[in-house]
Copies of this chain bind each other. A is one copy, B any other.
Amino acid sequence: MLRHSGLPCALALAVAASTILAGGASAQSFRSLQTPAQPLTLKARGSFFVGGRQVEQTAAEIVLGPADSVTVDQMYVEYMIPDGRVKTPVVLIHGATLSGKTYDTTPDGRMGWYEYFVRKAHPTYVIDQVGRARSGFNQAALNRRLAGDAAPAQAAAPTAPGAPSATGAAFRLGDRIGVWQNFRFGPRPGEAFPDTQFPVEAAAELSKQGIPDLTPQVPSPNPTLKALADLSSDLGGAVLVSHSQSGPFPMDAALVDPTGIRGIVALEPGTCRATYTDAQIVTLAKIPTLVIFGDHLAQPTGLSPLTWQQRLDGCRAYAERIKAAGGRVDILAAAQDGLRGNTHMLMQDRNNLQIADRVLEWVDWLPRRAVR
């Protein structure tokens, strides 16, 4: 267990005291679930897939049965559409070693952005990246290697910041360095910043959201990019919200097809790519973009030679290129805007709905901007 230093026990007790769905004694996270004051009324909800291709595989690749076809590279999407008049659809994209769970109920049982956006009249779509969770991954190369085939599984380079060269291995982020320090809950594992916004008493619950990341088995270009572009078009226009490793996905998706991408919100992107060509920047400059970073950005991550401050600096350079091409990138460096202690997991921080309001204010401004 992670040590929960830096926060008074009273805080954890306060969370427990607000429990509504109390039951037995086994699941900490279950006891912490909070019931909203008002019910949620949905016009529709459900799930579907975008993309995917049927491929032939050998018996050794399928394992359970003879040679046959399977589908790979499909993208899982769950959605909720609020009842009544709706605003711009939003698509929520998670980061490395995580799943769409990122945007649902927070580790300490509060409402996540998925439900909050819907309550604010936005049809909201949450994806699992290809290579993760309910989107699955192509297990063929992995099984060939397990059966003794020495060839590298696939030549695809991992896209996660700090990931090693492609070995085909499934990677995770560790609790102490990969998450606590790298996500800036505090200066050292187990020690929280006095002003941290992350509910660090529930850090063990965030750890449960971590799953093996099979991005090294995902082909290049990542099928998630086209799936995001297609989904945006299917929705008749959407704002793409990315996080961390998926930071540049909305831009990369727009370079596949910008038709449906009305706006981009990048939450602490792993990178704002410096490698886009001038022609690509012209395309990207047509899409309003908001970049958000939290606090304590200069701290060494323990994981990557790059600090989050350097990643923010990279996004400022990107913003300059976009501006020179006639576009606009708004940057919210939260700590310079009165929001202190925000972490890499902005959407789960204690003030997550305050951050959400900033995002939605920006999103709701887009249609007015479009008619100008």
Residue numbers of A with Cβ under 8 A of B are 1-2, 20-21, 23-27, 29-31, 33, 35-36, 39-52, 54, 57, 62-71, 74, 76, 78, 81, 83, 96-97, 99-101, 104-105, 109, 111-112, 115, 128, 133-137, 139, 142-143, 145-147, 160, 162-164, 167-178, 182, 204-205, 207-213, 230-231, 233-236, 259-260, 302-303
With A26-B234, A133-B134 as given contacts, are A207 and B46 in contact (CB-CB < 8 Å)? no
Query: Is the pair B47, A104 in contact by a Cβ cutoff of 8 Å?
Result: yes
Q: List 20 A-B contacts (CB under 8 A).
A: A24-B260, A26-B51, A27-B51, A31-B234, A33-B44, A41-B41, A46-B115, A52-B208, A54-B175, A63-B171, A66-B174, A133-B136, A134-B211, A136-B212, A139-B171, A142-B169, A142-B212, A145-B146, A146-B168, A147-B169
CB-CB < 8 A to A50: which residues of B? 26-27, 29-30
Query: Is the pair B211, A171 in contact by a Cβ cutoff of 8 Å?
Result: no
CB-CB < 8 A to A104: which residues of B? 46-47, 78
With A115-B46, A169-B146 as given contacts, are A23 and B67 in contact (CB-CB < 8 Å)? no
Copies of the polypeptide in the assembly: 2
CB-CB < 8 A to A48: which residues of B? 27, 29-30, 33, 105, 109, 205
CB-CB < 8 A to A76: which residues of B? 101
Shortest Cβ gap from A159 to chain B (Å): 12
- Partner of A163 from B63, B105, B212 at Cβ < 8 Å: B63
Query: Is the pair B29, A83 in contact by a Cβ cutoff of 8 Å?
Result: no
CB-CB < 8 A to A1: which residues of B? 54
Shortest Cβ gap from A40 to chain B (Å): 5
Shortest Cβ gap from A306 to chain B (Å): 14
Query: Is the pair B170, A67 in contact by a Cβ cutoff of 8 Å?
Result: no
Q: Beyond A29-B48, A71-B175: 16 further Cβ-contacts under 8 Å?
A: A1-B54, A24-B260, A29-B50, A40-B45, A46-B111, A48-B109, A49-B205, A62-B173, A62-B178, A64-B163, A64-B171, A66-B177, A69-B176, A136-B210, A142-B169, A147-B169
CB-CB < 8 A to A97: which residues of B? 64
